Homo-oligomer: A and B are copies of this chain.
Amino acid sequence: MDERLRKLAGIFRPRGVAIVGGSAVPGKIGTVLMKNFIDGHFVGGLYAVNPKYTSVLGRPCYPKVSDIPKPVDCVIIATPAETVPDIVEDCGRKGVKGVIVLSGGFEEVNRNDLADALKRTSDKYKMAIIGPNCLGAFDPYTRVDSIFLPMFKLKRPGPGNIAFVTQSGAVGSTVIDLAAHYGMGISKFISYGNGTVLNECDMLEFLEKDKETEVIIMYLEGVKDGRRLLERMKRVNRTKPIIAMKAGKYGKAMQAARSHTGNIAGNYTAYKAAFRQAKVTEAGDLQELFDFVKIFDQPLPKGNRVGVITNGGGMGVLTADAINEEGMEIADFSAESREAFRKILPPYGNVGNPLDLVADAGVEAYDRAIEAMMADPNVDSLAIVVLTQTPPIDERIIGVLTKASDDRRKPVVTISVGGEYTEAYQKALEGKGVPSYNSPNSAIRALRKLTDYAAWKGAKRGPS
């Protein structure tokens, strides 16, 4: 498998890419794929493979992959299942490093014969294959992009350090879309579908060595080899935190997962136990997946004591509730901090945790309160609530929160709730890598997960 994993890298940094069925006819998948590379300004060679044309959208077109006179490291196939084995064989002959098979119609509809053909060809040429029955791969650094959904409907995220590995194309695509929406950067997106040749274990091994990747999200329906996955997760999670989500947990949902990618979903209890054993962070649903991934860029806290800053009393109360509910602790501020807070607060203000700066608080008050909590040895992490709707809060708050998030002495979560105006702030924060949440509970739950991970890694205090 090692050679294939090395070649998998070729899919993401190809000298040349060939689109089988590449076309200029509007609405065709082959057209969307060609445009993905052209509009994404892919810098390598781009070729269409289609017996009907000699040129497609200004790029050379050949009858077969093996007819292309230049190096081709990545081939994308979206033709009917029956045609795929011959095309893949032709790719092998050409010396292609990796193939992405988007087409469905394999194990998931009991065509194991076609799946076996792919395996045999991959064995013969030691060729990497992603799929079939998938969305394939997206790399924002090189702009390899086999997601056959138009960019106006599905935005692509920019470069970052989060890798996303998913069995389901549909779920994968929504995550990509949301990541782009929130301004979150990714390193690689891999939708591997049936996982006929390369499965979740292989992807983990690949990402372990991938330079751009620092955090890994895994969305699993079924797995081929649970024992191997557990081992890989244990190892990789030490250096690159893994956030995993299992779908198809029970009864009929398991059946649905089976008919979806032809993998047996397996007993959820076993997955849960495996996640726990590997100390992988489990996300219960898509919302949690997003909430958790935002925070793993933050430094690891040395304990569970949270300092809360707010400009709205009620939101402070809710955040304190969330801290209790998530089993975190409300920090007791040091004498130095209390002294500092007294200077910030109006005469009638209460020095307590949550620290309620009251609605009159301006950006300056936040800055000073944050600095005191960063220096306070009794505080392990900061939860900063900002009601952007109050008159004294203006866009300078983004600078103050970004500074807090970049400080790296302690992890920071920010919480704002509101409509359009608030959302604009939150997008700006996310774009600057500041974890931003629209409910105290999601923020504190994420902080709890980071704290658990830190405790497991036995992280020492200080910049990570």
List residues of chain B with CB within 8 A of the CB of A169. 312, 314
In the complex, the chain B residue whose C-beta lies closest to that of A155 is B419
In the complex, the chain B residue whose C-beta lies closest to that of A308 is B256
List residues of chain B with CB within 8 A of the CB of A174. 312, 315, 387, 389, 417-418, 422
Cβ-based interface call for A199 (8 A): no
Closest CB in chain B relative to A412 CB, distance in Å: 20
**Residue A287 contacts which of B321, B419, B420, B442 (CB distance < 8 angstroms)?**
B442
Bound: A252/B323 CA distance, A: 10
Q: Does B285 contact A171, Cβ atoms closer than 8 Å?
A: no
List residues of chain B with CB within 8 A of the CB of A391. 27, 149-150, 153
Stretch from A112-120, A175-183, A205-213, A293-301 at the B interface: A175-183
Cβ-based interface call for A411 (8 A): no
Assess A252 versus B285: contact at CB under 8 Å? Given A247-B318, A391-B27: no
Residues of A32-76 whose CB lies within 8 A of B: none
Stretch from A274-282, A353-361, A446-454 at the B interface: A353-361
Cβ-based interface call for A13 (8 A): no
Residues of A156-184 whose CB lies within 8 A of B: 166-174, 177-178, 180-182
Cβ-based interface call for A441 (8 A): yes
List residues of chain B with CB within 8 A of the CB of A83. none
Cβ-based interface call for A286 (8 A): yes
How many copies of the shown chain assemble into the complex? 2
Bound: A39/B27 CA distance, A: 48
**Residue A260 contacts which of B172, B317, B420, B438 (CB distance < 8 angstroms)?**
B317
Q: Does A388 contact B153, Cβ atoms closer than 8 Å?
A: yes
Residues of A317-336 whose CB lies within 8 A of B: 317-318, 320-325, 330
Bound: A441/B390 CA distance, A: 32
Closest CB in chain B relative to A80 CB, distance in Å: 11
List residues of chain B with CB within 8 A of the CB of A171. 312, 314-315, 318, 417
Cβ-based interface call for A95 (8 A): no
Cβ-based interface call for A98 (8 A): no
In the complex, the chain B residue whose C-beta lies closest to that of A27 is B391
Q: Does B419 contact A177, Cβ atoms closer than 8 Å?
A: yes
In the complex, the chain B residue whose C-beta lies closest to that of A253 is B320
**Residue A247 contacts which of B167, B287, B314 (CB distance < 8 angstroms)?**
B314
Closest CB in chain B relative to A117 CB, distance in Å: 19
In the complex, the chain B residue whose C-beta lies closest to that of A251 is B324
In the complex, the chain B residue whose C-beta lies closest to that of A246 is B321
List residues of chain B with CB within 8 A of the CB of A422. 174, 177
**Residue A168 contacts which of B249, B255, B314 (CB distance < 8 angstroms)?**
B314
Closest CB in chain B relative to A353 CB, distance in Å: 7
Cβ-based interface call for A105 (8 A): yes
Q: Does B390 contact A352, Cβ atoms closer than 8 Å?
A: no
Q: Does A285 contact B318, Cβ atoms closer than 8 Å?
A: yes
Bound: A431/B320 CA distance, A: 34
**Residue A253 contacts which of B166, B177, B324 (CB distance < 8 angstroms)?**
B324
Cβ-based interface call for A421 (8 A): yes
List residues of chain B with CB within 8 A of the CB of A202. none
17 extra interface residue pairs, beta carbon distance < 8 Å, beyond A154-B389, A250-B321: A154-B418, A169-B314, A173-B312, A173-B418, A177-B417, A180-B419, A181-B418, A219-B314, A248-B317, A250-B320, A253-B317, A253-B320, A253-B323, A256-B316, A260-B314, A260-B316, A286-B440
A residues contacting B by CB (< 8 A) are 27, 105, 109, 149-150, 152-155, 166-174, 177-178, 180-182, 219, 221, 247-253, 255-257, 259-261, 284-287, 311-318, 320-325, 330, 348, 350, 352-354, 356, 359, 387-391, 417-423, 438-442
| Cβ-closest 8 pairs across A and B | A168-B314, A170-B312, A181-B419, A253-B320, A260-B313, A171-B314, A174-B417, A250-B324
Can you give 30 A-B contacts (C-beta < 8 A)?
A: A109-B348, A153-B388, A153-B389, A154-B421, A155-B420, A168-B312, A168-B315, A171-B318, A177-B418, A177-B421, A178-B418, A181-B418, A248-B320, A249-B324, A250-B324, A251-B324, A252-B320, A252-B330, A252-B352, A253-B321, A253-B323, A255-B352, A256-B316, A257-B317, A259-B313, A260-B317, A260-B356, A286-B318, A287-B438, A287-B441
